[in-house]
Structure 1
Amino acid sequence: MDTAGATARGKHVLFDVDGTLIDAVDNQRRVWRTWAERYGLDPDEVYRVALRTRPLETFASVAPDRDPRECLAALHELEDEDVRSGVYGAFAGAAELLSALPPGSWGLVTSNYEHRVRGRFARTGLPVPEVLVDAASVTEGKPSPVPYLLAAERFGALPQDCLVIEDAPSGVLSGRRAGMTVWGVNAPAPVDGVHRHFTSLKEAAPEILAFVTGAG
């Protein structure tokens, strides 16, 4: 049977965004540097903490005497401005892969907010799927399994029929805790916990397509 354009029964792929589909490392570093300088903090130290913690945890660590709501508002202001004026790029193969996947077979699960994701996708020409789980969709973010489980629920899919594509430890742990298959991309070495590792998204693309269509 010709599987081109078809979806294997119940198979879905769930992509992280930043670091997986969108190359936003320089943008994130620039935003945190500006934020740190605004508060008179060491930008390099702040960024090191921010890489491994969520924003509120970062503020508690690097600026415990500051109002976390004020810190978060300042960060959001800088991030929104970066979406409007920053330079973004999609990882090689992202546009081709998302265009090749059958409609309704893939979604996004991100710790960012939907309006920023849509802004970045508009800047890079990537399509936005119907299922998009963002930071405002859940009360627990990655590494909790909640974001990925919510995405599966919106598809009406079983967790074991979902493939998670991630680049970061918290996202990998989130997908594993949700009972899903997790593949890592865009890293020279495997992130702990991944079921398969690819050095780039482009390298993983044929295998991702095969998973969803059942052509593998």
Structure 2
Amino acid sequence: MFAGRKFAAFLFDMDGTLINSIASAERVWSDWARRQGLDVAAFLPTIHGVRAIETIAGLALPGVDPAYEADLLLKAEAADLDGIVQIAGAAAFLNSLPPERWAIVTSAPRELALLRMVAAGIPVPSVLVAAEDVSRGKPAPDCFRLGANRLGFDARDCLVFEDAPAGIAAAEAAEAAVMVINATHQHPQSTQHAAIAGYDMIGITIDERGWIALEPQRSAA
């Protein structure tokens, strides 16, 4: 698992990576999809890891304003926080990191991201890159490059924690290393990257420069 490699900082996606918000998100999006006459079962897999405005715009529905609908969805998701929980070991792992060495980079709007972090008991980072901070969302690399830059580093020296194909593609485009989180996947996805089911499987060591190395936890062996 990245044997011998150290990273300047860690960049975390949020939904599906640090917290499990699938039930809440899918309740809200299912209602919206039904109102639009969409096939809900076919549509739901497309919402994860992508900004709402881009998901809606990609549908090209006649008479639908993506910005207006995305705002309605934000309000609905902010009102539905039931069942949001952290991925196993996430809060403890984040609290073990130097605060200046990690950021959250999410496709969720800032307001919703903060509400979900509080609901799940996840610490709020000093650097949070949210949907409104970039003009191009995942799979474009802009968000991860911005997160790294705000921490004072190059994305190529960072490790990205992701769960969704769009986010993994964004991290790859930013030339960052990638750790895939499989906690919310019904079936672990096939990936060329290292993958874990939860943060209780890993620990860290920090060198004299503050760079971070991952190490497997013995209990996970």
TM bucket normalised to smaller: 0.7 to 0.9
Distance 1:190 1:41 in 2: 26
Q: Given that residues 90 and 198 in structure 2 are in contact (C-alpha distance below 8 angstroms), is that contact kept between their aligned partners in structure 1?
A: no
**Displacement after TM superposition at 1:40 (Å):** 4.2
1:78 to 73, 76, 79: 76
Please tell me the residue identity of whatever aligns with 1:175. A
Q: Which residue of 2 aligns with 1:112?
A: 108
Distance 1:131 1:152 in 2: 9
1:181 to 165, 169, 177: 177
Q: Which residue of 1 aligns with 2:218?
A: none
Mean CA deviation greater in 126-135 or 9-18? 9-18
Mean CA deviation greater in 65-74 or 54-63? 54-63
2:15 corresponds to 1:13? no
Q: Given that residues 183 and 198 in structure 1 are in contact (C-alpha distance below 8 angstroms), is that contact kept between their aligned partners in structure 2?
A: yes
Distance 1:48 1:91 in 2: 20
2:63 is paired with a residue whose SS is coil
Q: Which has the higher helix share?
A: 1
Per-residue displacement from partner, 1:6-50 (whole Å, max 9, x unpaired)? xx9971000000000010111111111121233344432332443
2:35 to 38, 41, 54: 38
Distance 1:70 1:158 in 2: 35
Q: Which has the higher strand share?
A: 2
2:205 corresponds to 1:210? yes
Normalising by the residue count of structure 1, what TM-score does the alignment of the two structures yield? Answer: 0.82
Please tell me the residue identity of whatever aligns with 1:11. A
2:25 is paired with a residue whose SS is helix
Q: Which residue of 2 aligns with 1:5?
A: none
Q: Given that residues 190 and 197 in structure 1 are in contact (C-alpha distance below 8 angstroms), is that contact kept between their aligned partners in structure 2?
A: no
Distance 1:134 1:164 in 2: 15
Output aligned runs, 1:1-216, within 5 Å.
Answer: 11-51=8-48, 54-60=51-57, 64-68=61-65, 69-83=67-81, 86-186=82-182, 187=185, 188-194=187-193, 196-203=194-201, 205-206=202-203, 209-210=204-205, 212-214=211-213
Change (3 A) 1:214 1:52: closer
Distance 1:124 1:50 in 2: 20
Q: Given that residues 139 and 170 in structure 2 are in contact (C-alpha distance below 8 angstroms), is that contact kept between their aligned partners in structure 1?
A: yes
Q: When the two structures are aligned, how many residues end up with a matched partner?
A: 203
Q: Given that residues 176 and 193 in structure 1 are in contact (C-alpha distance below 8 angstroms), is that contact kept between their aligned partners in structure 2?
A: no
Please tell me the residue identity of whatever aligns with 1:213. I
Distance 1:70 1:16 in 2: 25
Q: Given that residues 169 and 191 in structure 1 are in contact (C-alpha distance below 8 angstroms), is that contact kept between their aligned partners in structure 2?
A: no
**Displacement after TM superposition at 1:200 (Å):** 2.9
